[in-house]
Structure 1
């Protein structure tokens, strides 16, 4: 006979927390933002994951779409929280208070201002997938089971098809994996899994291109990557950079965009400021106007006027941004690197916190060279995740909560890990 699960005061408190969050989300209802229609309509610049997700729910539930979308997103998100908490609790043997704090940090995005379960945007799916990815990555790095490896890959695939900012996550795992299994890494099983991690981003790029081919007839990556990244390069650019382009279309687009930016005072040169921190604040406020309203909109119109269909015009301006980006960075590198550093630090809120996480990562990497404690490998993994995601966001866009909230709970975990590690070392 099966034993009935033991219901305790602590498990009852957790159940009540999850239930209250679920009820809160349901009563809030669906929230539509300016981005929502582009997901529902599967616009060419949206990755496959969320548009397919919302269309499937729309097809099944019809007029009850809003209710069931929120219900499914909330339930999926809370289940992901539960799974991650379960894995971390087993790793760190958290006491009840620490466990509640961790749960609180993980459910924070369900409330304002993010409201991930209610917003009809990709975070409703990407946040649960990221938590699943974390849970199965931790399990894999500690136990190296086939099941955790497969679940890790599955959650990564769904995550990247929803938000491309996480494309390079397997590289972080691969680095930690090499540190942990350095003595046996060339054995067949370890080498095979390492190669899977290294090749996974390429496989996802091909999968993304296949989706675009099936949807729009163009074998291309989802546009907007270089348009977003080019915003910082355009912000620091000068009018005479136009002479650095050999392509006539690029010259015409750049001249038009730079003139428009100059007229609207959306360039670094528009006003002298006291520091790069101040320049970043100006860039932060105007990024959408630079990449969306200017480069994307005016560039797409340029190619449409040349006779391209709208989908191909979007692709052409993405390729134009890809061509202009390295040239503008090279021409204005000093200004660009200072602006991006300010962008990166803005995501950490202080240089002290960044250098603290960097020091922890370096310490964990150094300790991992030797026969390290299991906590060291997870410290290396979590600190590398925080820094790599911060760098990816700073290079591609601006450091806002919407792109960075995924890792907020990891700061707490890192400090708990350090405390547990010190305690274990003292007791050994």
Structure 2
């Protein structure tokens, strides 16, 4: 089907308008995590709390409506940037570009409904889409300016959700491949230095934020809690012997006992008849983390500590305990990780499909180095990279994986677009 530029622009404009109407007609959705962002709690990274604080300060009692409008506006702008980059590198024709615009806007309309939600996903999805748009343009055009434009947006994304740290090695891989073919290493020296410095810069911003807001020059203290959740879930009673420190030993004993009583330990699922071990972990992740682990962790800390000091102490303790606990139960932990990863893909069939696309595009880029193979490889790496990171410390639910739900659609549209070109040319 032939679609003119004018028709495409009108269609996308109408999509944006319908998205605004759909979001503004629905109320703002408050989640258990929303309080942490609104109150700028110490266990929240700075990006989204600062964003909410600005809206609260400017709009006051009109916060809810303003938030929905601004989050949707940023989202639509990100889709516009992404679509423009796709058109710039001639990846899709007008018809498939219009279809793909619908896919990119779906998180605002169904499922997570990020425009209405007080969650960092509302901001991070838009930032992620913009970064990937510049990544696509850079990989195809080899214009380093595209990468330079992506870096500040990536920095904001990292202080909003640090799970996207994998985008830095992805950028290095793109530079490596381009230079492998072009032999122009000197051209990208500044870009590589900036990429190397980006995690340091974002860490400094994170620490400075906590110093200003919480009077503590620290990284956001919650990583340890995420990592130790899976470790506690697969632990057994003998693991108590691993810990020599009295506080850590007491924490393990009380937490393990609490998990067993609630049937939240992999070795004590008898009450959950025919329960799948991975699914129990995914469904009960929040109850495991915020139940026995968080409560017992706080209980063994000095009661004289402030709430912020307890978060910091708990972070240090859980980080110390995670590694030996994982290593002592490495087989069960690995099985759980793989099961969580497969769930994130959407099932074993979907995982095989994405791995097949990855393999085919890898072989294709080596043999032919065409635009299509380069983009398909990049898309596969982006999706798989996110899942590999998320599955380590969290449950791979849609809230953390939806960022790449559009990848399969774009893959299909690219292949159909290539097929249409061949048919037209023949």
Query: Do both share a fold (TM > 0.5)?
Result: yes
Q: For the residues of structure 2 that align with 1:7 and 1:98, how far apart are their CA atoms? A: 12
Q: For the residues of structure 2 that align with 1:194 and 1:374, how far apart are their CA atoms? A: 23
Cα deviation, 1:298-325, whole Å, max 9, x if unaligned, reads 21232242x3222121111111111111
Name the SS of the counterpart of 1:113 in structure 2: coil
Asked whether 1:414 is paired with 2:419, we answer no
Aligned partners of 1:178 and 1:185 also within 8 Å: no
Aligned partners of 2:88 and 2:137 also within 8 Å: no
Q: What are the ranges of 5 or more consecutive residues in structure 1 without an aligned counterpart? A: 1-5
Partner of 1:109: 107
How many residues align? The count is 422
Q: For the residues of structure 2 that align with 1:273 and 1:310, how far apart are their CA atoms? A: 35
Partner of 2:131: 133
Shift of 1:263: 1.2
Cα deviation, 1:312-345, whole Å, max 9, x if unaligned, reads 2111111111111111111111111111111100
Cα deviation, 1:221-272, whole Å, max 9, x if unaligned, reads 2111121121111111011101112322211111111111111111111125
Partner of 1:296: 294
Q: For the residues of structure 1 that align with 2:379 and 2:90, how far apart are their CA atoms? A: 14
Tell me the TM-score normalized by structure 2: 0.92
Written as runs of structure 1 = structure 2, the 5 A alignment for 1:320-331 is: 320-331=317-328
Partner of 1:64: 62
Written as runs of structure 1 = structure 2, the 5 A alignment for 1:75-154 is: 75-154=73-152
Asked whether 1:165 is paired with 2:159, we answer no
Deviates more, 1:378-387 or 1:307-316: 307-316
Partner of 1:190: 188
Q: For the residues of structure 1 that align with 2:372 and 2:28, how far apart are their CA atoms? A: 40
Shift of 1:167: 1.7
Please point out which of 370, 395, 398 is paired with 2:395: 398
Aligned partners of 2:20 and 2:72 also within 8 Å: yes
Please point out which of 335, 339, 349 is paired with 1:338: 335
Q: For the residues of structure 2 that align with 1:8 and 1:214, how far apart are their CA atoms? A: 49
Shift of 1:422: 6.9
Aligned partners of 2:227 and 2:393 also within 8 Å: yes
Partner of 2:41: 43
Over 3 Å counting, the alpha-carbon distance change for 1:374 and 1:181 in structure 2 is farther
Partner of 1:3: none
Deviates more, 1:373-382 or 1:55-64: 373-382
Deviates more, 1:100-109 or 1:207-216: 207-216
Asked whether 1:287 is paired with 2:285, we answer yes
Q: For the residues of structure 2 that align with 1:66 and 1:407, how far apart are their CA atoms? A: 27
Asked whether 1:19 is paired with 2:17, we answer yes
Q: For the residues of structure 2 that align with 1:36 and 1:388, how far apart are their CA atoms? A: 27
Tell me the TM-score normalized by structure 1: 0.91
Q: What are the ranges of 5 or more consecutive residues in structure 2 without an aligned counterpart? A: none
Aligned partners of 1:168 and 1:201 also within 8 Å: no
Asked whether 1:236 is paired with 2:227, we answer no
Cα deviation, 1:327-383, whole Å, max 9, x if unaligned, reads 111111111111111110011122222122223223333444466112222222111
Cα RMSD (Å) of the superposition?
A: 2.5
Q: For the residues of structure 2 that align with 1:198 and 1:338, how far apart are their CA atoms? A: 33
Q: For the residues of structure 1 that align with 2:268 and 2:342, how far apart are their CA atoms? A: 23
Over 3 Å counting, the alpha-carbon distance change for 1:404 and 1:381 in structure 2 is same
Aligned partners of 1:233 and 1:325 also within 8 Å: yes
Over 3 Å counting, the alpha-carbon distance change for 1:21 and 1:425 in structure 2 is closer
Partner of 2:198: 200
